[in-house]
Structures are given as structure tokens and as C-alpha cells.
Amino acid sequence: MIGLKYLPEEYDAKGQLRLPFLFWLILLLQARTWLLLVMAGASRQQGNDLLALFYPDRQSFWLGLALGIPAAIGLLLTGYRQRWPRLWQSWRHVLSASLLISLLWQGSSLLQGAFPDSPLPLLLTLFDLLALFWLQTQRRLRDCFLPEHQHVE
């Protein structure tokens, strides 16, 4: 008899291992430019000021949107883990690659002398680094992407 690695309460009604809360926060962290765009659209008069505050350079805004696409798709894929299991199984690596590219971009802009006026970009870089580390090392999250934790009989 094979013992369960996790308690039955840690599985949802579909038999899937529940995603850790920090995973949702990482997806929101990665999709932060998309969230900012939605907030700017919701606050019509101050929308341009809000975007200019966080992204004075338009090129970095567009790059932030591009780097947030895997997280936005990841948010959608969480509901389709059983329907598209192979895509879901590879998505942790896609999110990690997106974070790594983001870190490289942020590091290169710092090396070119583009030091931010506020500590917020440095703090976000630190959070990105921690998120990448957590995505790669957290066992329960890794198990959420494995096919044997998709159904409990």
C-alpha cells in the first residue's frame, strides 16, 4: 500500500493538490505591470500619471507587459490543470525562465547606471529573486506540477 505524501485535506474536490498561497502571490508579482495597467485604466484621469510614476520609460513598460504574459497565462492555466496536463507540468519552468529574464534585465539596467530614485525597483528585484528561489526549491509547489498529484483515488 502506497502512503499519501500529503494529507487528504490538502487536495481539492477535483483531486488536485492545492496550490500554495505564495504561488498566487508570485503570479501577481510577475503580472505586476498588467495589474498596474488595469489600475491605470480604472482611474481614468490619473492613469497616465500612475503609469509615468512606475514606468517613466515606455520601453520598460512594454517589456514589463511582455514579461508578465507567462504569469497571466499561469493564472488562467490553474483552472485547466486536468484538461492540459502537459502544458501545466511545464509551466513552472516557463515562470522560472520569465523571472530569470526579468532579473537579468533588471541587473543589466543597474549595471548600465540606471539607478532608481526610489527603493521600490530594488525591492521588486529582491522579491523576484526570492520568488525564483522559491519556485525552484519548494517541494509542495513542485509536486503540484507533477501528474501523480493531479488525482487522488
- The tens-digit pLDDT sequence of the chain (153 residues) is 455 688 888 888 888 889 999 999 999 999 999 998 888 888 877 878 877 777 777 788 899 899 999 999 999 999 888 889 899 999 999 999 999 999 998 888 777 776 666 677 788 889 999 999 999 999 999 999 987 665 544
Does residue 10 form part of some domain? no
Does residue 7 form part of some domain? no
Q: Give residue 87's pLDDT.
A: 92
Closest CA to 20 of 142, 148, 141, 150: 141
- The pTM for the full model equals 0.83
Three-class DSSP category at 12: coil
**For the chain, what is the domain count?**
1
Does residue 51 form part of some domain? yes
Residue 24 is placed in which grid cell? 498566487
Residue 117 is placed in which grid cell? 530614485
Does residue 142 form part of some domain? yes
Residue 37: what residue type?
L
**How far is 68 from 129, CA to CA, in rounded Å?**
15
Q: Give residue 138's pLDDT.
A: 93
Q: Give residue 153's pLDDT.
A: 45
Does residue 69 form part of some domain? yes
Does residue 12 form part of some domain? no
Closest CA to 150 of 92, 83, 73: 83
Residue 75: what residue type?
L
Q: Are 116 and 122 in contact (CB under 8 A)?
A: yes
- Would the CA dihedral through 120, 121, 124, 130 be positive or negative? negative
- Domain containing 22 equals 17-147
Does residue 9 form part of some domain? no
DSSP 137-152: H-HHHHHHTSGGGS--
